[in-house]
Structure 1
Amino acid sequence: MVLLGSPGWAERATAVLLADPCFQLRSIQYLLGHAEPAAMAAAAPATEKRHFSLSTYTEYISAEELAKVDKMLSHLSEESKQAAATTLPTSEEDLCPICYAHPISAIFRPCSHKSCKACINQHLMNNKDCFFCKATITGVDDFTKPPSS
């Protein structure tokens, strides 16, 4: 468990968020009222279409809190860009064999089969057996691909 204020907590929290296949930076952008580029281009300039924004809820959310969320969005956006620039393209064999959408990120104990965290988390909500061999899953560890030789 990472505690706020402990050394490296921000880096660890950033890594966990950006590694989660379900996390979307667009969700935070939406909360701040940032319109999506496609939506802005499709809207006629004369229309005054109002978008959701936390800033309209001044009774509940302070300007300081909004500034913190905006700062977090900037940080996550920059880290995401840097991670994308340094990440090698994913080969087909590194993709989750269940969804083929996300890289393998979880390894099951005791059988050592692998999938992405999104698939195993969804599966474990209703089932405790491995997708592949039906062994009872006793734990899930983070998977990191060994360096190629």
Structure 2
Amino acid sequence: MPPYYAKSAEDLPTREDIATRSGLDFIRDMLEGNLAAPPIAETLDYWLEEVEERRVVFRGKPAFKAMNPIGTIHGGWFGTLLDSCMACAVQTTLPKGQGYTTLEYKVNIVRPLFPHSGEVRAIGTVSHAGRRTAVAEGQIVGVEDGKLYATGSTTCMVIDF
């Protein structure tokens, strides 16, 4: 888990923080605690676990606060974890001065999660990194049981800072 999450807008990385680091260095600096992790990660109980070029892994704990009315973990929790791991994997491919924004993403939930399911890993990998767009895939896999819980894909637009 990162040493700290952003508690206010002042804690978040600045445009300069992004513009002066390669995408890989930017994501690694969050993993190492040199930059604050985003508050949504604390809210939804997930954190960076591994970072390398073209691949990012988050670890998360489905919790009661992410349940839907029928007692399973809400699809938005799956979507947020997949969007995070896939888009951050894209960021690792970018040079200084560039970032991304998600154009679209798709989620396929293949089995439900419950608050008692245990921790999962969200693994994002880049399949294409171009000058203006990038494509990545993701999987959510149980840490203890190794089961596949969801898959995803994304297209991101590369932007200049």
TM-score, normalisation: structure 2: 0.24
Q: Name the structure, 1 or 2, with higher relative contact order (CA <8 Å, separation 6+).
A: 2
TM-score, normalisation: structure 1: 0.25
Considering fraction of residues, name the structure with more strand. 2
